[in-house]
């Protein structure tokens, strides 16, 4: 029992410095971004941005006000999206499609920084998520029963006293930052304990066939579980640690990022839309399937790039081929 306690204490001591460092990094991202969004909303800039982008949404059968919802999602989180959708009272069909789009494209500033730090291009991740949300939205608009709504809606921002808005914002951001510190450190401690006591391999081994089906390395099993349960922001601590320790190569982490960029936080976020009457399977399954497609497309892209590099190398270095062991033997 004493040995168990010592090993447990060692896991905590190893995890806390990394957890506190990652928590501080996330807080430095979250705090200014959240305050900037507060100002954008207060001065009505989100509505102005939505007016210019609304024609794009009408192409895929959504009312122009859908632009406001997605823009809110891009700059904030799913909680804000639920609040805006509640205010707009969109038809369930339109709201469901828009909810799936927001589940793909939300928290861009913070989550893109995480994806970049774990080995992927920030520009690529931004474009991937934005384009994917419209592709999935268009597909759902085509296959879901019912007709697109042609109703018009309006949304007014709350332009009260700025000081009052900040006072209301402070406890909200305080709770968010506290969640970051607690969850990040708790997750790292759990991960260290799973590794120390040899439990992790028993959890990830059953997922190996699923990883293979999705085109992901089996080493990413635990990270995939973390990303799909608690999301990118809170799961970033484990992801960053795996990358820094070299347990995942950059290409492998990039493949995982292509999946998690589309399909993450598959528990909490979809459940938030239950109060609006949206279908949970529709909120989860399309993102999961599209994420698998994107990973295999990324693997194909990597294969073609590697083949092109090999061909260019042999063209510019013919002497290597001539003096290779296979050539000499022949």
Q: Where are the domains of the chain?
A: 2-307
In this prediction, residues 26-32 reach a mean pLDDT of 78
pLDDT tier at 188, thresholds 50, 70, 90: confident
Q: In sequence order, which residues have a C-beta less than 8 Å from that of residue 163 and are 6 or more positions away?
A: none
User: In the predicted model, is pLDDT for residue 249 greater than 80?
Assistant: yes
CA gap 68, 80 in Å, rounded: 11
Residue 169 scores a pLDDT above 50: yes
Burial grade of 146 (CB within 10 A; 0-12, 13-18, 19 or more): exposed
Lookup: tokens for 88: 């707009």
Rounded-to-integer distance, Cα 227 and Cα 295, Å: 15
Q: Express each pLDDT in 41-67 by its tens digit.
A: 788 877 777 777 778 888 888 888 888
Residue 74, pLDDT above cutoff 70: yes
Q: Which residue has the higher pLDDT, 71 or 235?
A: 71
Output the pLDDT for position 87. 67
Q: In this model, does residue 283 exceed pLDDT 70?
A: yes
Q: Given this model, what pLDDT does residue 328 score?
A: 44
CB-based contacts of 301, cutoff 8 Å, min separation 6: none
Q: Which two tokens stand for residue 202?
A: 């028993």
Q: What is the pLDDT of residue 330?
A: 43
Report how far residue 212's alpha carbon sits from residue 93's, in angstroms, rounded to the nearest whole number: 34
Residue 327 has pLDDT above 60, yes or no: no
Q: Which residue has the higher pLDDT, 202 or 209?
A: 209
Q: How much is the pLDDT for 149?
A: 65
| pLDDT digits 0-9 by tens, 129-152 | 999 999 999 999 999 988 776 545
């Amino acid at each position: 029992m004493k040995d168990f306690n010592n090993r447990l204490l060692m896991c905590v001591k190893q995890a806390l410095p990394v957890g506190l460092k990652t928590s501080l990094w996330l807080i430095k991202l979250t705090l200014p971004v959240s305050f900037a969004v507060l100002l954008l909303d207060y001065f009505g800039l989100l509505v102005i941005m939505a007016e210019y982008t609304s024609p794009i949404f009408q192409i895929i059968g959504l009312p122009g006000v859908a632009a406001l919802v997605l823009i809110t999602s891009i700059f904030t989180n799913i909680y804000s999206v639920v609040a805006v959708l509640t205010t707009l009272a969109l038809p369930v069909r339109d709201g469901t499609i828009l909810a799936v789009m927001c589940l793909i494209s939300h928290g861009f500033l913070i989550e893109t920084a995480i994806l970049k730090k774990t080995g992927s291009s920030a520009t690529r991740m931004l474009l991937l998520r934005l384009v994917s949300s419209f592709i999935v939205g268009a597909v759902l608009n085509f296959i879901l029963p019912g007709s697109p709504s042609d109703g018009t809606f309006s949304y007014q921002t709350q332009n009260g006293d700025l000081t009052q808005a900040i006072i209301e914002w402070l406890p909200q951001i305080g709770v968010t930052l506290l969640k970051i510190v607690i969850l990040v450190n708790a997750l790292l401690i759990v991960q260290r304990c799973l590794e120390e006591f040899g439990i992790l391999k028993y959890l990830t081994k059953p997922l190996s066939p699923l990883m293979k089906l999705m085109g992901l390395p089996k080493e990413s099993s635990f990270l995939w579980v973390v990303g799909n349960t608690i999301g990118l922001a809170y799961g970033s601590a484990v992801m960053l640690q795996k990358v820094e320790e070299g347990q995942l190569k950059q290409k492998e982490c990039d493949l995982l990022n292509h999946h998690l960029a589309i399909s993450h936080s598959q528990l909490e976020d979809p459940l938030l839309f239950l109060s609006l009457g949206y279908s949970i399977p529709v909120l989860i399954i399309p993102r999961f399937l599209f994420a698998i497609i994107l990973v295999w497309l990324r693997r194909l892209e990597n294969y073609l790039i590697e083949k092109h590099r090999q061909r260019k190398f042999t063209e510019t270095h013919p002497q290597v081929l001539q003096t290779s062991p296979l050539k000499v033997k022949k």
